[in-house]
Amino acid sequence: MNDKIAMVDIFLMGKRYTVPETLTIIDAMEYAGYQLVRGCGCRAGFCGACATVYRMAGDYELKVGLACQTKVEDGMYLAQIPFFPGRKANFNLEDIKPSTAHFTQLYPEVYRCLGCSSCSKVCPQDIDVMQYIAYIQRGDFEKAADISFDCLMCGLCVSRCPANIVHYNAALTARRLYGRYIAKPDPFLVERAKAIEEGKLDAEIDELVAADDEKLQELYNTREIEK
Amino acid sequence: MAYTPQLLELMKKVEETRPSRVGVNFPRMSQEERRDVLEKFHPDYIEDGFRKIKVGVDKGTRLPTEMADVFESWSRLRDVDLDLNAPPDYDVDVLIIGGGGAGASAALDAHAAGADVLIATKLRFGDANTMMAQGGIQAADKENDTPAIHYLDVMGGGRLENVPELARALVMDAPLVIKWLEDMGTMFDKKEDGTMITIHGGGTSRKRMHAARDYTGAEIMRTLRDEVINKGLTVIEFSPAVEVILDNEGRAAGAVLYNLETEQYQIARAKTVIIATGGSGRLHYRGFPTSNHYGATADGLVMGYRAGAKTIYADSIQYHPTGGAYPPQLLGLLVTEKTRGLGATPLNINGEQFVYHLETRDVESSAIIRECAERGLGVPLPTGITAVWLDSPLIELTHGEGTVERQLPAMMRQFQRFDVDIRKVPMLIYPTLHYQNGGLLIDENGHSSVENLYVAGEAAGGIHGTNRLMGNSLLDIIVFGRRAGRDAAAKSKDMPVPEKLNLDHLASYHRELEETGAADDRIGPILLPHYTHR
């Protein structure tokens, strides 16, 4: 059933290795003998640790991908960017508001976007990065939060930006502002938290904590299940 | 399309039976049926995967072989000369080992309580299973729900083996945790009026699963991390702890850190220590692929155990029913339970459902293993393994077009990268090694059996009994991270600066290893999995 797996040549920082074509870049680096310390994280496309830049032999175009989410191809020249020294503005969320005035103080460079769209082209999550920067400029934090949501903070956008914008940190601040100030709080949650803090729900649960296994099992087996 | 012609041929069966399955619920198992399938097919019950540990405080306790291997190992410091009582490199109230959700939560609450905090972590801050948790976080914050109802689900799901006080703390803090996260700007899925959108998970009796699309853990982790940085707390990356240091009274008093890049050791002295190092999926019990982060190598369990911390249910491992099985690049990858929460169902080679789609994880996994192993009704894959279908196209037939993109964007993207459109074609899945149900035993403040040593997150045990429900892990890391952080901060206020720091516990551990010959030439904690030259 299992045909012989084809091999391909890849170039890790310029050095050639022959690896099975079914592997992701991460797996291929390990197959080649690397013990990874940086440039490897969740291995499932959630953490942004393994941002990778590559080019195919004979082509001038630089491509990007997450090493754990990209299959190797024959003639792939690649290097990882395991860290990028992007700036983060520190803030106290309670002292700022979702306003352009506050945002300008935290991330003034956001307003110097040149509109080149390099960030959007480079995003491995296919996020329209430049568009959310534009929303931030306009003070539309709701839209910025929405379209930047799938960001993994891998830093590739920052590596290509001629205006030195740190998109992923600006986006995270926008999302926190949205979550804190624009999205409405859940009314019942506030009430429930208060009831717990006041000890109003203690009696009900203490009765269960004190119950023996037989009683608990019976309650569990016969509990009502919401449709 | 990534599926081979043979797979596409088999897929036709799924398409044929689909219309007759829409809106039809497969019956749930009885308790007897559940027990039967668990005992026959769950890896926890397959005895040759376990052995009794020969050394340490729980000598004679059954552990998975691969975990026993890392427990029965020599310290990395066996032949290293360290002056533990020279002026330390770091000197703090609360040392937190691990920079995932539990560590970050502990740091924030310890800091809020006035403690001087240090986080030392093996990889980057935020590199943790927390980041990968997709489906959700449970909390009883609806009018038809209460913490007591949540408690019943937790205990029943955990086979009543949970430590009741821990389960109580978990469910009672849950709404407070959601509010805490929301106040920090975490973007939960909500309706216009602010009401949380919540759904079922396996084993829940109320719809109490809160989500942030299917990036729930990532959204929580990046918010916590941002807040820790905002507060100016010190975080040292790529510097795992390799041993806990004790003082002359046997209390935790710091840790030896190892800089992975300069390969130098450093001493962190601390009045209290919190182990928040996460799980152990990268030990690949029984050869299973894993959904876990690269760093999940049981480091904290090993260190804590050597320092004398007792374990509980360390032999109880959770296999998530839906790990990616094909294409091969997705092997072991978590297919979030939310996929089943939204109505996708497991099917055999004949396109027939064989188990209710939202049984608890242990039962669901066992039923899938049975379908492949005993009944021979799995789908054979070109890679030589068998799998079952997960009929994801049912989701949009039930909830309407656009649901997958809106509710499962990460899942959709991951499969699309390898040319599988999960809206149109069913996924191929098989159980994947997902979670360590047990760990180091704690009390409701996260305190272990060693004085001044706390444990929070996946490294801790007792909360979930021998089977955790979906959405209770993101919850537990924050509940017990915060509790440990607060208690450690309070404790450190009454503690003088620790004196006579030592690693004497290693000497006696090594003596036991020598006497039993248990360690061979193994060194632990392993810190990084070794996948080279496979």
Which residue does chain A place closest to B154, by CA atoms? A220
CA dihedral A147, A148, A152, A157 (to 10 degrees): 110
Supply B135's token pair: 């489906």
pTM of the model: 0.96
Q: Which two tokens stand for residue B237?
A: 């990356």
pLDDT reported for residue A2: 45
The mean per-residue pLDDT over the stretch A168-181 comes to 98
How sure is the predictor about B134, in pLDDT bands with cuts at 50, 70 and 90?
confident
Is-catalytic flag, B18? Answer: no
> Is B361 noted as a catalytic residue in this protein?
no
> Could A45 and B414 be called an inter-chain contact, meaning their C-beta atoms sit closer than 8 Å?
yes
Per DSSP, the residues of B351-417 read: S-B-S-TTS-HHHHHHHHHHHHHTS--SEE-TTS-EEEEE-TTHHHHHH-TTHHHHH-HHHHHHHHT
Query: Tokens 């853990």 identify what position?
Result: B217
Two tokens at A18?
């022959």
pLDDT of B12 reads 97
> B262 vs A81, A84, B266, CA distance in Å?
19, 19, 11
Q: Kindly report the backbone phi and psi dihedral angles of residue B380, in degrees, each rounded to the nearest multiple of 5, phi listed first.
A: -70, 135
Name the 3-class secondary structure at B3. coil
Band of residue A212 on the pLDDT scale cut at 50, 70, 90? very high
Which of B168, B226, B532 shows the shortest C-beta gap to A172? B226
User: Mean pLDDT across chain B, nearest whole number?
Assistant: 96
Tell me the pLDDT tens digit for each residue of B181-194.
999 999 999 999 99
Q: Tell me the nearest-neighbour CA distance from A135 into chain B, angstroms.
A: 18
In A6-75, DSSP assigns E strands to: 7-12, 15-20, 51-56, 63-66
Give the Cα separation of A132 and B478 in Å (integer): 30
The mean pLDDT value for B97-118 works out to: 98
Mutate to test the interface with B, among A186, A217, A226 (most CBs of B within 10 A): A186
Instruction: For residue B229, name the pLDDT band (cuts at 50, 70, 90).
Output: very high
Residues of B in contact with A190 (CB under 8 A): 179
Nearest C-alpha in A relative to B177? A193
- The CA distance from A106 to A104, in Å, is 5
How near does any CA of chain A get to the CA of B253, in Å? 28
pLDDT above 90: residue B202:
no
Question: What is the distance between the alpha carbons of residues B319 and B427, in angstroms, rounded to a whole number?
Answer: 18
Residues of A in contact with B183 (CB under 8 A): 180
A2, A37, A91 ranked by CB distance to B238: nearest = A37
Q: Are B208 and B510 in contact (CB under 8 A)?
A: no
Catalytic: which of B150, B213, B340, B482?
B340
Contact, B251 vs B261, CB < 8 A? no
Please identify which residue in the block is written with the tokens 């248990």. B518
Q: Percent of chain B having pLDDT more than 70?
A: 100
Asked if the model's pLDDT at residue B369 lies above 60, the reply is: yes
Using an 8 Å CB-CB cutoff, list chain A residues near B132.
42, 44, 46-47
| Pick among B4, B228, B293, B467 to test the A interface (most A CBs inside 10 A) | B293
Task: Say what percent of chain A tops pLDDT 90.
Answer: 96
CB contact under 8 Å between A193 and B222, yes or no, is no
At residue B383, the pLDDT reads 87
Q: Which of B426, B92, B411, B457 is nearest to B295 (CA)?
A: B457
Distance from CA of B434 to the nearest CA of A (A): 13
Element (H, E) at B323: strand B317-326
Q: Is residue A168 within 8 Å of residue A155, measured between CB atoms?
A: yes
- C-alpha–C-alpha distance, residues B194 and B24, integer Å: 32
Residue B8: name the closest of B432, B389, B336 by CA.
B389
What's the pLDDT tens digit per position in A51-66? 999 999 999 999 999 9
* Separation of CA B423 from chain center: 28
Residue B49: count other Cβ atoms within 10 Å of its Cβ: 17
Q: Which two tokens stand for residue B472?
A: 């209770």
Tell me what pLDDT residue B533 has: 60
Contact A30 B532 (CB under 8 A): yes
ipTM above 0.85, yes or no: yes
Contact B450, B73 (CB under 8 A): no
B360 vs B346, higher pLDDT: B346
Rounded CA-CA distance B424/B510 in Å is: 57
Q: Classify each residue of B354-364 as buried b or exposed e, where b means 16 or more C-beta atoms within 10 Å of its C-beta.
A: bbbbbbbbbbb
In chain A, the residue whose alpha carbon lies closest to the alpha carbon of B409 is A150
- Residue given tokens 């196209």 in the structure block: B393
| Res B387 pLDDT > 50 | yes
Closest approach of A114 to chain B, Cα-based (Å):
27
Residues of B with CB below 8 A from A175's CB? 185, 187
The verdict on a CB contact (< 8 Å) between A22 and B226 is no
How far apart CA B282 and CA B260 sit, in angstroms, is 18
Q: Which residues of A touch B259 (CB under 8 A)?
A: none
* B524 in Cβ contact with B70 (< 8 Å): yes
Span B5-17, average pLDDT:
96
- Search chain A and give the residue with CA nearest B237: A38
CA distance A139 to chain B (A): 17
Residue B254, pLDDT above cutoff 80: yes
pLDDT at position B33 over 80? yes
pLDDT reading at A1 higher than 60: no
Two tokens, residue A110: 């956001």
Which one-letter amino acid corresponds to residue A226?
E
Mutate to test the interface with A, among B205, B222, B482 (most CBs of A within 10 A): B222
Contact B77, B506 (CB under 8 A): yes
3-state helix, strand, coil in chain B (%, to 5): 35, 20, 45
Percent of chain B's residues with pLDDT above 90: 94
- Count of alpha carbons within 13 angstroms of residue B30, beta-carbon side: 2
